[in-house]
Structure 1
């Protein structure tokens, strides 16, 4: 009897059977799968991964990540911004139902419900259908989630002041001396909440680039301007004079007589 596909072999119970070792399958029976996983297919995967990794490393060397100034915990004027893939959550925390006294709900409970639903998805929808149109429950929640992510990400990006954000982290060269008693005793507790720890701007303007004379700074501190309150009743005349002198000297020239710039 010739061997062939579709043939049925009938054994004889009088003949003792022997276990034969399993032989490698003939991959010609499976169109498109004509190689073994080890080592042929796996070797190709490793080579592809190695090429991608080398290309990625070259990209990071050619275009390094932009750096900001050294982080300063005392700089309360700096407004941090998460990366683009967290902008949706950043925007949700701005809504009234997820901010202020409801921060716990917006930051923990709401994302917890979303991830919990994702974990329970295999038990919530146990249908055998593979076509998404025949699985309305899973498909509907997926489309709603994608719509929320796209809309909140767009809204956060569209209404954010990116120019001000870029200025916040810029490395600025100035005569700022944080060890000066004027900074540690007066400016740090009265000015940095609006103008930033580096005095380069936050909610208030950039004092390093303002190039205000001493008299101008003194007038702003005493009388206030716009959203800036008056410190006439908070600081003494001597303290105001010291602050005015300190801020007016932030944009002085260096030892070679050249103006300090970014």
Structure 2
């Protein structure tokens, strides 16, 4: 024991007897790592994530996702599509080995095996290295999954006429026409046409009746015989009621001009 040093006792030899200030480690000897992960680096990550989240939420509020028109049960030509991030699964169901009698393969077995393999990838490749060539199994599985998703999504999207689909499924604009509910033809319209053409003739499952260019005779013929995807015999009232219905639709269009 050196003179003047005295003796120091600690309960655990692994604990330093000298008190040290609660400061971050000195990373200056490691190029590119000059700050502590907590709280310096992590705080920056949180701030960057918060800015992105606020921006993303602001974007969704300013530009909400567009909706298609109301579902029309009489339109047999309409082909529903899932959202873009499910298009690859939609495309998978078009192949013979994943559809028809093998539909279970397409909706359960193949997706289950693919996502299960990705889940097990870290356990199948336990190499200590972090570079891609040092983790061949995990990298190969990820590249195979990524390539499959991109290819199936591309194949699905390439077969859709997006311009025609967007034009056919434009959201219905709000009507600015005041409807005369006291008109004798309104009650007839309400019973025969409202479910498809909307309470303000703006169109829902059927097209809008505001801004159309038909004569009274043509409207009467359409109401009884149908047109396009509209089936016949939608109106089954008397001739007098048909005249009142046509007169009501004409009056609404005259007001809209």
TM-score, structure 1 length as denominator? 0.60
Corresponding residue of 2:143: 139
Is 1:182 matched up with 2:188?
A: yes
Q: Which residue of the other structure, out of 114, 124, 135, is the alignment partner of 1:117? A: 114
Q: CA RMSD, aligned part only? A: 4.8
Deviation at 1:148, TM superposition (A): 0.6
Q: Which whole-Å deviations, capped at 9, do the CAs of 1:97-136 have from their partners, x for residues lacking one?
A: 7xxx97xx59x96167415531343437824573499445
Runs of 5+ consecutive residues of structure 1 not aligned to the other structure: 1-15, 254-258
* Counterparts of 1:72 and 1:158, CA distance in 2: 18
Corresponding residue of 1:6: none
Runs of 5+ consecutive residues of structure 2 not aligned to the other structure: 1-10
Deviation at 1:171, TM superposition (A): 2.2
Deviation at 1:218, TM superposition (A): 0.9
| Closer/same/farther in 2, CA of residues 185 and 202 from structure 1, 3 Å limit | closer
Where 1:184 maps in the other structure, the secondary structure is helix
- Residues 1-262 of structure 1 aligned to structure 2 (within 5 Å): 18-21=13-16, 25-56=25-56, 59=59, 63-65=62-64, 83-87=83-87, 105=103, 110=107, 113-115=110-112, 117-123=114-120, 126-127=124-125, 130-131=132-133, 134-135=136-137, 136=140, 139-156=143-160, 158=162, 160-166=164-170, 168-176=171-179, 180-188=186-194, 192=196, 199-201=201-203, 205-226=207-228, 228-231=230-233, 234-253=236-255, 259=256
Contact 2:88 2:150 (8 Å CA) reproduced: no
Q: Which has the higher contact order (CA 8 A, sep 6+)?
A: 1
Contact 1:186 1:243 (8 Å CA) reproduced: no
Contact 2:88 2:149 (8 Å CA) reproduced: no
* Counterparts of 2:252 and 2:92, CA distance in 1: 39
Q: Which whole-Å deviations, capped at 9, do the CAs of 1:17-72 have from their partners, x for residues lacking one?
A: 822249765423432111112222223223333444454566567x4437779x97
Deviation at 1:141, TM superposition (A): 4.1
| Closer/same/farther in 2, CA of residues 54 and 186 from structure 1, 3 Å limit | closer
| Closer/same/farther in 2, CA of residues 91 and 164 from structure 1, 3 Å limit | farther
* Counterparts of 2:87 and 2:206, CA distance in 1: 24
| Closer/same/farther in 2, CA of residues 156 and 90 from structure 1, 3 Å limit | farther
TM-score, structure 2 length as denominator? 0.60
* Counterparts of 1:90 and 1:199, CA distance in 2: 35
